[in-house]
Structure 1
């Protein structure tokens, strides 16, 4: 007989079915009720525990020198805040009140500008108002300072427990200080926006793309959830050579301080490509020192003076109205020109008398050049100006820097009847021919001289040559030819010879070198003071020297412009000296000797390799022809050091071992390193170094692994 009693079991099943149906109906009913009647309430609750569409800032790209050295990069900076609501929710408010005095004393030690009492008053104000985003300090701080604040009581807890939180920003840092600072550019720190220079011109590439994230409160904790990740900015590779830039800046500053000048400019350009290898812009400031506050090289529209005479003579030679045997009378140094007197610089000493055309440039005769041009173009001045335009001096060079302006060279215009000039006087042409009545920025003058050095081919000045992303070139900027030929080949050869004689025999001797030939032209011009003209008290002068070197196989062109008040004032004797120092320094740097040539029969086959940057050691060993083994991939040229030590591996092989780099807040072990590597490693962590002795590091006063504190000084004994 079956034990199953349907009369007892089925009612139970029916009861369960009915119960589950009622529960389901209740759930569905409640759901519909929440979705309709309570919808507004729950949406308001959801809004309190979520934040949508928060921006995630990308990392700004780096600006690199021509050989990959870091010139500008982004470092983290922080704004720090307290969330007192989160503090209370985590039930740490009592702990905060207990530790408040310790916190404030610690903040005072980190930020001495505000007392502990002021910090206490400020924090208690936010605590009493129950603020979610109360600033602990009202300015951005660097990572080192941030780490100190984060180690204080309560602040050292997690965000959700302490309420201590922060906004991270990318602050721009120039690796070489003010070197080429105006050209590299600046950022508005508070806004993270570009202010000037390449930072501004290439902002769209450097900036990258912002990401989007949202915040959700889950289990009483806020979580950041990335919707769209940020795209970091690309790196730009400039044409700037750090060593040339440093050399040009030091040479210019030396002369500016010596003669107490107001403004100084120096530009170095590679002849074949138009690459700007160095660009210096110095202005004397209120602190009686020189700083880069304006890019004078591209924006100063001043009358260039005698460096313009080269262009005037080239027009005459190219048009065939004169040749190098042409002679002109300059008399006693004073010549009447349509009611005005044209004077040579030596008019008080009797002038130059009869001169040949090359001699007019060699001695920079105002009368000689102006008479040649006026005699042949007086009735058709537009033909002369067209010749100047043909040389490219008035071209828009499309400089990728804010404030750049092309030269302003007036073209003669006649009235509606075509009988007389409306913007021209009889004296305009003579004075224009010697560098007045025009406005030419230094970069345009240099581009013209660079074209002469390049056999007549005019190259556009190039400041950026590539864009890189993650070490891969994604875009290249090729050299741009503005004009295939600015003058006839014979004209270029003749003017090159004349310019070389200006330096070897004429007024430009101080720009020359005993080691190689230099070609160039001096310039000394009075600077007009606006409406006051040239007769407003003490005179200001623009002193220039523009040229190229070596004269007959040119590699680099250079211009030096100095603005100063009062006499003495000499383009050759002041700007020429700076040109000389730059040219000799660059040519000395280019004397590359093969390391392998240093080996002889007495050389040590396996040299001793100090601890430190193993990439640098690998580079030298390669050039000495010594085999090596290493546990990494990379090259010395990428600029990123790899730290480690070397061991002789038997025979003629050296084993290079990479050692993991310690945390930035920890003192590294620099024993066995050379002074350069040791100082770099320690000072990159904010610790000052004192050296004693020579050789490799034998002792360090702060032990390896010790936590670094602000204001530490480490003494190194070398032996």
Structure 2
């Protein structure tokens, strides 16, 4: 056989194979198209449809008095299905102009003409999920739902919206780090993290279908599982005190050009944290809440630790505040290290009480070295019994670990005991030091600091968070009394005498510690940085609140605790004392003869408010007639006569004799404009009471004392 013939045969074979393959493909397509059509359509639909998670609305965080600290603001992605079967050509043609006009008013970045063109193109292109707005608020959504076409709803009007929530802090910087945050794939911090399981709620599910462009579109409501919104947290924060604390700290940090600082105010008996501020200096010199130093920064506390040292010595019976200690001339050598007192020339021989008041390093160190030098572990054990080596078990993540090493620690040396005695070679967070001082104010009872007091769902209490006692008695009552006397002496006679107050007593301790750096030690570039602090409680005789202030690295050559941290403490304490009536002594009430009792001049007004005032002040009164919302008051010789004051429908009410607040409430609820002049109570109104309401739009009020 010739070569050409063989080549032709091979070509025929290839053609036959290709033809057979084509027949097979056609057959398979036919099978898929007709016999297996339903099966493959179902698979395609299943692959393009998925159950997607619907996030629940995260619960709110409130202050103790109900102000909003953190909330989730809903934002809506608005889509339009212009090709839903209910929107016929006639419906679209008759309504698109008015719809476009309304959209241009709500979203003016496009004109009515541009909106009309966009909607028409979306319909012509067969779009089923056309974007209208990506981040509309609820007010905008509410208006959209009333627009032409859209007002018919999702299926007949093609309006589709998906809710997404954004977390916001209405008061921004205030307690921001303690409130914390919750982000995907990042460990949550603050109250947001501590109560995440409560706040986040239960997610729902929604069937979604992928359409052109990879966009997921909701498919019907019948397959939707509604999410369960999160519960609310009522924090212990007092907004007014928090504001004072934040501003006082900010002012001192700026004044002393400090690196960072913190302040915490805590209720003595319960451990509720009423205010907590943490500020860090930014590169531009401004300050912001970036890290919770009060909770997380563990440093050598310095002189504020001297209280623990003396409590240990007094509890073991070695000293009392009246005993004497020789402090010498302000310099004393322990082994190969010299210890200094801040006062040049020293204090000589003084009492233990005075050594604490003037914060003598040498005095405290000599006491501890003398009585525990042969058995330093006994001193450490006494500190352990006061829980100073244990974390506070805070609900907020990130608590710094306290450190008090044992006497058998490899790093223990001959100078460890005297240096520990005045706050070095140990480390604590500001909150741990505060909790210890709070225990002294609380008659020895150590309580856990609390940041939340209640969990609520839909306004109803789910759980109340009670105080937690960590140690019922850190020492004996006798030692507590000694310690409190010494702390009062610091303010009355010692390093914090600049905090003395004529109205109430403060008890506390100043602290000035050199800052240790793991790389450079206590000096960097021949410079020493300091940490200034003050911790204490007030009023000293009946402790109600404890407070700590810590300022890190002030850099304007002023670094002592009484001058840098003390003023912050005093400003907060003054504000709290001034606004807390229950902290003031009651004035004596003088009994007067029955005929001499003076009753208040009658003022008309809101019944519930007036009755509450009379009950609180013990003013006798008689109710005349049935209960009414408003009262007419007459002052008799021995009691007040309260009569109901009716507001007749269709008439201008008579508000003469009321205060302005009540008068405005009544008039404005009737839809009337009100103008007023003067001060005091309503003396005259125009038009007069009883004038037909239909004839009046504005009421003029004249006030006089």
For normalisation by structure 1, the TM-score amounts to: 0.73
Confirm whether residue 331 of structure 1 aligns to residue 324 of structure 2.
no
| Counterpart secondary structure, 1:279 | strand
What is the distance in 2 between the residues matched to 1:156 and 1:615? 44
Q: Which residue of 499, 519, 522 corresponds with 1:511?
A: 499
Aligned to 1:544: 533
| Alignment map for 1:430-441 (pairs within 5 Å) | 430-441=418-429
Instruction: Name the CA distance, whole Å, in 2 between partners of 1:56 and 1:125.
Output: 31
Instruction: Give the drift of 1:76.
Output: 2.2
SS in 1 for 2:453: strand
Which residue of structure 1 lines up, in the alignment, with residue 228 of structure 2? 231
Structure 2: distance between partners of 1:540 and 1:83: 66
Q: How many pairs does the alignment contain?
A: 611
- The one of 232, 237, 242 equivalent to 1:240 is 237
The within-5 A match list for 1:204-219 is: 204-212=197-205
CA shift for structure 1 position 446: 0.5
Greater shift in the superposed pair: 546-555 or 448-457: 546-555
Name which of 248, 253, 259 aligns with 1:251. Answer: 248
Deviation at 1:301, TM superposition (A): 1.0
Is the aligned partner of 1:276 residue 2:273? yes
Q: Does 1:469 align with 2:457?
A: yes
Match of 2:434 among 440, 443, 446: 446
3-state SS, counterpart of residue 222 of structure 2: strand
1:100-154 deviation digits (Å, cap 9, x = unpaired): 9858855763xx6x9999999998997787554454445x343245456667776
2:62 is matched with which residue: 61, 64, 75? 64
* Matched position secondary structure for 2:338: strand
Out of 75, 78, 89, the residue aligned to residue 76 of structure 2 is 78
Is 1:424 equivalent to 2:422 in the alignment?
Answer: no
Cα 1:39–1:118, aligned 2, differ >3 Å: closer, same or farther? closer
In the TM superposition, residue 308 of structure 1 has moved relative to its aligned partner by 0.7
Equivalent residues of 2:523, 2:529 under 8 A apart: no
CA–CA distance in structure 2, aligned partners of residues 532 and 120 of structure 1: 69
Question: Which residue number in structure 2 is paired with residue 640 of structure 1?
Answer: none
Query: 2:402–2:429: 8 Å Cα contact kept in structure 1?
Result: yes
Cα 1:471–1:328, aligned 2, differ >3 Å: closer, same or farther? same
CA spacing shift, 1:527–1:152, aligned 2, 3 Å? farther
Tell me the distance in 1 between the aligned counterparts of 2:187 and 2:354.
Answer: 50
SS for the counterpart of 1:452 is helix
Q: Cα 1:656–1:386, aligned 2, differ >3 Å: closer, same or farther?
A: farther
**Which whole-Å CA distance do the structure 2 matches of 1:443 and 1:352 have between them?**
32
Q: Distance in 2 between matches of 1:192 and 1:718?
A: 62
Structure 1 residues 61 and 426, CA gap change in structure 2 (3 angstroms): same
Residues 479-514 of structure 1, C-alpha deviations (whole Å, 9 max, x = no match): 111112111222111111111111111011123321
Pairwise CA distance, 1:445: 0.2
State the distance in 2 between where 1:693 and 1:338 align.
78
Work out whether 1:372 is the aligned partner of 2:367. Answer: yes
The verdict on how the C-alpha distance between 1:608 and 1:94 changes in structure 2, with shifts beyond 3 A counting, is same
Query: Contact between 2:531 and 2:554, CA under 8 Å: does it hold in 1?
Result: no
In structure 1, distance between residues paired with 2:645 and 2:173? 40
For residue 75 of structure 1, give the secondary structure of its aligned residue in structure 2.
Answer: strand
Whole-Å separation in 2 of the counterparts to 1:395 and 1:412: 17
Q: Do 2:100 and 2:115's aligned partners in 1 also have CA atoms closer than 8 Å? A: no
Specify whether residues 647 and 53 from structure 1 end up closer, same or farther in structure 2 by C-alpha distance, changes over 3 A only: farther
Alpha-carbon spacing, 1:527–1:674, altered in 2? closer, same or farther (3 Å):
farther
Query: Which structure would you say has the larger Rg?
Result: 2
Alignment check: 8 A CA contact 1:467 1:475 kept: yes
2:305 aligns with 308
Range with greater deviation from structure 2 (583-592 or 304-313): 583-592
Per the TM alignment, residue 297 of structure 1 is displaced from its structure 2 partner at its CA by: 0.7
1:54 Cα deviation from its structure 2 partner: 4.9
- CA offsets 1:350-402 (integer angstroms, 9 cap, x no match): 22222221122111111211222223323332222222222222222111112
- Cα distance change on mapping 1:524 and 1:652 into 2, 3 Å: same
- Tell whether 2:170 aligns with 1:171: no
Q: Equivalent residue for 1:526?
A: 514
What are the residue-to-residue correspondences of 1:108-147 with 2, within 5 Å?
109=108, 130-138=126-134, 140-147=135-142
Deviating more after overlay: 85-94 vs 258-267: 85-94
Shift in alpha-carbon separation, 1:234–1:429, aligned structure 2, 3 A: same
> In 2, distance between residues paired with 1:578 and 1:323?
32
1:469 shift after superposition: 2.7
Q: Which residue of 2 aligns with 1:203?
A: 196
Give the Cα separation in 2 of the matches to 1:648 and 1:675.
13
**Aligned residue number for residue 6 of structure 1:** none
- Distance (whole Å) between structure 2 residues aligned to residue 535 and residue 645 of structure 1: 72
> Structure 2: how far apart are the matches of 1:427 and 1:152?
81
Alignment partners' CA distance in 2, 1:431 and 1:197: 34
Instruction: Tell me the distance in 1 between the aligned counterparts of 2:113 and 2:303.
Output: 67
Question: Tell me, what secondary structure is at the counterpart of 1:565?
Answer: coil
Alignment of 1:556-567 (within 5 A): 556-566=545-555, 567=557
Taking a change above 3 Å as real, the CA distance of residues 358 and 429 of structure 1, as seen in their structure-2 partners, is same
Structure 2 residue 556 is the aligned partner of structure 1 residue 581: no
In structure 1, what is the Cα distance between the partners aligned to 2:551 and 2:496?
15
Answer whether contact 2:604 2:632 (CA < 8 A) is retained: no
The aligned counterpart of 1:502 is 490
**1:214–1:225 CA contact under 8 A, matched in 2:** no
Change (3 A) 1:155 1:473: closer
1:647-699 Cα shifts (integer Å, max 9, x gaps): 75996155799x9xxxxxxxxxxxx9749999xx99xxxxxxxx999789999
Instruction: Give deviations 1:563-615, integer Å, cap 9, x for gaps.
Output: 23321112012211221222222222221599xx9x98463434345xxxx98
Counterpart selection for 1:479 from 456, 464, 467: 467
CA RMSD of aligned residues (A): 4.6
Q: 1:484–1:602: structure 2 CA closer, same or farther, 3 Å change rule?
A: closer
Partners of 1:552 and 1:513 lie apart in 2 by 13
What is residue 591 of structure 1 aligned with on the other side?
A: 581
Verify: 1:183 aligned to 2:178, yes or no: yes
Matching residue of 1:384: 379
Name the CA distance, whole Å, in 2 between partners of 1:279 and 1:361: 28
Q: Contact 2:447/2:470 (CA < 8 Å) preserved in 1?
A: yes
CA distance in 2, matches of 1:676, 1:181: 40
Q: How many angstroms does 1:330 deviate by?
A: 2.4
Please list the CA deviations of residues 551-572 of structure 1 after superposition, one character each: whole Å capped at 9, or x if unmatched: 2321211111112332111201
Partners in 2 of 1:673 and 1:210 — Cα distance? 49
Q: Does 2:589 align with 1:571?
A: no
Q: From 342, 350, 354, give the equivalent of 1:355.
A: 350
Using a 3 Å threshold, how does the CA distance of structure 1 residues 234 and 673 change in structure 2: closer, same or farther? farther
2:402 aligns with: 407
> Structure 2: 5+ residue runs without aligned partners?
1-34, 210-217, 590-595, 635-640, 650-658, 670-675, 687-699
What's the counterpart of residue 555 of structure 1? 544
**More off after superposition, 54-63 vs 267-276:** 54-63
Matched-pair contact (CA < 8 Å) for 1:605–1:652? no
Q: Distance in 1 between matches of 2:41 and 2:169?
A: 51
